[in-house]
Amino acid sequence: MRVLISGASIAGPVLAYWLTRFGHEVTVVERAPQPRKTGGHSVDLWRPALDIVERMGLLSAVRQRSITTERTLAYRPGVRRPASIDNTKIFTAVSDRHLEIMRDDLSEIFYDATRDTTEYVFADSLASISESGDVTFEHGRPRRFDLVIGADGLHSTVRRLAFGPESRFTDWVGAYLAVASVPRDMARDGVIIAHFDVGRTAMMYTAPHLQDARVLFLFRTERPLDYHHRDADRQKTLLREHFAGHVPRWLAELDQTPSFYFDSITQVRLDTWSRGRVALVGDAGLSPGPAIGASTSLAVLSAYVLAGQLAEAAGDHVRAYAAYQSELEEFVQRSRAFARGMAKTLLPSNRLGLSLLVNGTELATRLPSGMTRWLATLNSGGVRLFDTFPVRDYQPPTP
């Protein structure tokens, strides 16, 4: 089958990899003029995503570019001594298999693994999709595909064209996320410097292979902010307003930062993840919210499951799309619930919550490893959730 994928970040290239491996002819269209190396921060790959990466033969490439932040020094207003949190202990407590990597490094690895077998079209976007699979582009000539898959993120064009306006399917969790690149010498290798406050948190870190350091800003607001998702100047102004009096040196870097990312922390909720020939993977269809859920792992997993179901259904997309959703739906719902809880924890609404977050985490990581792990396992619906999804092997029927 000829399959068109919109979006060449995480879900798109992973889907392209598995579809070509199952014998399909794949085209990926990406709005950016080249593979996006525009910053972003580190993303978590949990067990299911790492299992899939391993099956793609990319585990060592991913490991080589993974980052390790061993310790977090957590500051909060009015307290001079930072809490010292052992990150390694937290991650080993919550997962048997986990790795952190910069989003753009991961995207590049997936792109490199597929560029020879997939047709990539950069600097273009879909303009229309018909029921028969005829599509038009903003720039390129019209073409026909058997299937069209949206892997084009939270503000998916495919979702808008096939399902309707974004506002009908998105659910804002009351917070925002921004990432800025800052000079490397502001940070220390292996250490996250975090400044927590009521309703706002900023963290800075770097990694040995990075030429810069990254600052992650998270903040909560009462009402949605008024800005366009491509208007970086306005986004920086909003960020300065919300972090006024907090991390002034980091904010001062916003004027000259070479790369900046800003988005609302929004979940996507659709009753059905497909319509006709169109289906959605990754953030476009099932985002639990960037930075607070496991959106990157879900992007990898959803792409893999969709390709697998298409292979098992021998190209019967109606059957495959239904099986894809039913296999993942419950896990996605639980990820969303987890993400909402995470947003509340990371952005406490009062001083008590702030103190519990900083001191409680420090205390937990001071316990012997076995105890920290035991505490984590008590929370089976929460932090260990991402390890629990079994990754199937898909077998195309023999002709």
What residue ranges bind ligand FAD (CB under 6 A)?
6-12, 29-32, 36, 38, 40-41, 43, 103, 125, 151-154, 157, 179, 261, 282-284, 290-291, 295-296, 299
Nearest to ligand FAD of 17, 261 (CB atom): 261
Nearest to ligand FAD of 120, 196 (CB atom): 120
The least CB distance from residue 365 to ligand FAD, in Å, is 23
The least CB distance from residue 327 to ligand FAD, in Å, is 18
The least CB distance from residue 289 to ligand FAD, in Å, is 8
* Separation CA 343–CA 323 (nearest Å): 31
* Contact assessment for residue 238 and residue 17, using Cβ atoms and an 8 Å cutoff: no
The token pair that represents 392 in the structure block: 């199937």
* Separation CA 202–CA 179 (nearest Å): 10
Measure the N-to-C terminal CA separation of the chain; round to a whole number of Å: 16
Nearest to ligand FAD of 43, 83 (CB atom): 43
Which residue's CB comes closest to ligand FAD?
A: 282
**Residue with token string 């500051």:** 75
The least CB distance from residue 265 to ligand FAD, in Å, is 9
* Separation CA 287–CA 171 (nearest Å): 10
The least CB distance from residue 179 to ligand FAD, in Å, is 4
| DSSP state at residue 137 | E
* Separation CA 99–CA 97 (nearest Å): 7
Nearest to ligand FAD of 193, 203 (CB atom): 203
- The pair phi, psi for residue 364, each rounded to 5°, is -60, -35
Nearest to ligand FAD of 98, 372 (CB atom): 98
Nearest to ligand FAD of 50, 83 (CB atom): 50
The token pair that represents 178 in the structure block: 């921004």
Pairing of strands 25-30, 119-122: parallel
The least CB distance from residue 350 to ligand FAD, in Å, is 25
Nearest to ligand FAD of 90, 126 (CB atom): 126
Q: Could you write out the DSSP letters of every residue in 6-53? A: E--SSHHHHHHHHHHHTT-EEEEEESSSSS------EEEEEHHHHHHH
Nearest to ligand FAD of 51, 152 (CB atom): 152
Reduced DSSP (H G I as helix, E B as strand, rest coil) percent helix, strand, coil of the chain, to 5: 40, 25, 35
Could you count the other beta carbons within 10 Å of the beta carbon of residue 63?
12
The least CB distance from residue 46 to ligand FAD, in Å, is 13
The least CB distance from residue 346 to ligand FAD, in Å, is 12
Phi-psi map region of 201: left, alpha, beta (phi>0 left; psi -120 to 50 alpha): beta
The least CB distance from residue 178 to ligand FAD, in Å, is 8
C-alpha torsion sign, points 314, 320, 326, 329? positive
Could you count the other beta carbons within 10 Å of the beta carbon of residue 1?
16
Nearest to ligand FAD of 133, 293 (CB atom): 293
